[in-house]
């Protein structure tokens, strides 16, 4: 058996995978996000470890025999988060997360100080990335900064708890702005922008490589063998790609999680920072990928669901699906920039808004508008990827939003592309992590990285496109205004 652990923003998920590609069991433990000031987003790293222990405890209880047979663990996690440790591995402050926008000024400084930053790091300096967060800490919390001995990413803090090792993989390291993405090595030039050296960084491994084994104490506590390998793993998006079997050039997926991601595998390192896309290492050796990211996707639907007092996001999505095409054409437009935006605007200060509210606007129409606004933001992302040289004809839809058939169909029509969903799509990151654990035992990537069975296929609908395209043109004009 292979165990995949995904350290998400809202939940830690764990899955058990067998050698016939069957997910035998899954468990989750909920996390909360702290927002102490506008634009700030933080979590306590200890909570990730507690949630991981809780999820594994649930799997151990519900699937004792399979759990005991685990041979390797793969880790996946939210990218860019800054975990600051002192020389005794004590956490110095809450981790600053990927969707924290406090360091936009530091990004401007970094780009000015090192014009080649985007070519080396694969992306423009954006507030979500790790390096500018550390410049912010150096400026605003100098006493904390002076004590920093190591900086880890979220999943790699959990690795430290499991193995006692400081290590990270190439895909997650790509999101720090400290990695020379083409060379797959830490960059002294990039590190110097935050006053760091390679001594502050964890060891680099490929995602499918073993990074270590469980400590004897942790193995006993978790009820696993101390010989269990822990793979390098991946950032959540690269892990989802491995889970979807997207490991060859031209393959990709669309994730409707807290954030919205379009991910396409490329045959080489292809940066194009001008379109605010990201060129990162893949979790598979010798592969890279391009990515467009919007900061608020399924989280926007979660926000409006709570705002309206509807039972849950699924219920609101079902209400929205009941609208006729004519009713959708008259619904308000929504700009989904609740926490700023990355692709294509790279604008930390833009905020969300509704346009065209009237007395007919009810909860159903507001729910529809939010779903459609996220769809339009993802279409902006696809346009940016195409401008960066990517080509893709079919995307796997993953993440919590993939449970809505209406949303999947709308994405197919708006993006003018075939969209497929899979039964296991809601555990994409954890499934990919389990596969990377499997690969760390020496398994053949061609046998492990298979695409899961397609549950449903959605193709562009001409009648829906007639409604969506004029509204998309209005959507794009509203940001400029």
Q: Judging by beta carbons within 10 Å of its beta carbon (0-12, 13-18, 19+), is residue 91 exposed, middle or buried? A: middle
Question: Contact 137/145 with Cβ under 8 angstroms?
Answer: yes
Q: How far apart are CA 348 and CA 99, in angstroms?
A: 10
Q: How far apart are the first and last CA of the chain?
A: 54
Q: Which of 165, 236, 380, 444 is labelled catalytic? A: 236
3-state secondary structure 331-373: CCEEECCECEECCCCCECCCCCEEECCCCCCCHHHHHHHHHHH
Element at 45 (helix H, strand E): helix 45-62
Which neighbouring-strand residues pair with 150? 85
Q: Where are the alpha helices (DSSP H) in 122-235?
A: 130-140, 142-146, 154-163, 170-173, 188-192, 216-222
Q: How far apart are CA 234 and CA 231, in angstroms?
A: 9
Maximum separation of any 2 CA atoms in the chain, in Å: 64
Instruction: State the DSSP code for 3.
Output: E
Question: Is 236 a catalytic site residue?
Answer: yes
Strands 454-458 and 418-422: antiparallel
Mention every residue, 6+ apart, whose C-beta is less than 8 A from residue 59: 3, 14, 16, 25, 26, 27, 67
Instruction: State the DSSP code for 10.
Output: S
Question: Contact 281/184 with Cβ under 8 angstroms?
Answer: yes
User: Hey, CA dihedral for 96, 192, 75, 229, is it positive or negative?
Assistant: negative
Query: What is the Cα 109 distance to its own chain's centre?
Result: 26
Instruction: State the DSSP code for 31.
Output: -
Residue 158, φ and ψ in degrees, nearest 5:
-65, -40
Instruction: State the DSSP code for 312.
Output: -
- Residue 63 among known ligand-binding residues: no
Helix (H/G/I), strand (E/B), else coil: 73:
strand
Element at 42 (helix H, strand E): strand 42-43
Residues in the chain: 481
Q: How far apart are CA 422 and CA 186, in angstroms?
A: 36
Residue 131, φ and ψ in degrees, nearest 5:
-55, -50
- Residue 79 among known ligand-binding residues: yes
Mention every residue, 6+ apart, whose C-beta is less than 8 A from residue 384: 275, 276, 277, 292, 343, 344
Residues designated as active site? 236
Binding site listing for substrate: 79-80
Binding site listing: 79-80
């Amino acid at each position: 058996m292979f165990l995949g652990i995904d350290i998400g923003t809202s939940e830690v998920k764990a899955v058990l995978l067998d050698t016939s590609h069957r997910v035998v069991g899954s468990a989750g433990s909920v996390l909360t996000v702290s927002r102490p000031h506008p634009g700030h987003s933080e979590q306590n790293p200890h909570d990730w470890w507690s949630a991981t222990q809780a999820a594994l405890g649930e799997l151990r209880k519900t699937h004792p025999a399979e759990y005991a047979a685990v041979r390797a663990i793969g880790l996946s996690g939210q990218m860019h988060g800054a975990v600051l440790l002192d020389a005794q591995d004590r956490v110095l402050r809450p981790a600053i997360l990927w969707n924290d926008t406090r360091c936009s000024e530091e990004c401007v400084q970094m780009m000015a100080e090192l014009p080649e930053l985007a070519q080396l790091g694969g992306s423009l300096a954006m507030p979500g990335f790790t390096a500018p967060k550390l410049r912010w800490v150096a400026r605003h919390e100098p006493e904390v900064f002076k004590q920093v001995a190591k900086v880890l990413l979220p999943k790699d803090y959990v690795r430290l708890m499991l193995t006692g090792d400081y290590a990270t993989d190439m895909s997650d390291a790509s999101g720090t702005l400290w990695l020379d993405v083409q060379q797959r090595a830490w960059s002294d030039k990039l590190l110097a922008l935050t006053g760091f050296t390679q001594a502050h960084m964890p060891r680099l491994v490929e995602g499918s490589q073993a990074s270590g084994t469980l400590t004897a104490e942790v193995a006993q506590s978790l009820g696993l063998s101390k010989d269990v390998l822990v793979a390098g793993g991946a950032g959540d998006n690269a892990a989802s790609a491995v889970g979807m079997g997207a490991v060859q050039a031209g393959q990709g997926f669309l994730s409707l999680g807290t954030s919205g991601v379009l991910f396409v595998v490329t045959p080489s390192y292809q940066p194009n920072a001008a379109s605010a896309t990201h060129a990162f290492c893949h979790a598979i050796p010798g592969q890279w990928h391009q990515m467009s990211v919007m900061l608020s996707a399924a989280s926007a639907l979660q926000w409006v669901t709570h705002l309206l007092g509807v039972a849950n996001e699924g219920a609101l999505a079902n209400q929205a699906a009941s609208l006729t095409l004519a009713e959708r054409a008259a619904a308000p437009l929504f700009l989904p920039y609740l926490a700023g935006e990355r692709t294509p605007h790279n604008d930390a200060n833009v905020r969300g808004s509704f346009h065209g509210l009237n007395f007919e606007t009810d909860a159903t129409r507001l729910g529809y508008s939010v779903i459609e606004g996220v769809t339009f933001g993802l279409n902006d992302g696809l346009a940016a990827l195409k401008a960066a040289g990517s080509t893709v004809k079919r995307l796997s839809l993953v993440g919590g939003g993939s449970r809505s058939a209406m949303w999947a169909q709308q994405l197919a029509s708006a993006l003018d592309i075939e969209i497929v969903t899979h039964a296991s799509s809601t555990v994409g990151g954890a499934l990919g992590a389990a596969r990377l654990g499997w690969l760390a035992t020496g398994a053949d990537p061609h046998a492990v990285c298979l695409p899961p069975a397609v549950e449903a296929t959605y193709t562009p609908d001409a009648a829906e496109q007639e409604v969506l395209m004029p509204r998309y043109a209005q959507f794009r004009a509203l940001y400029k205004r």
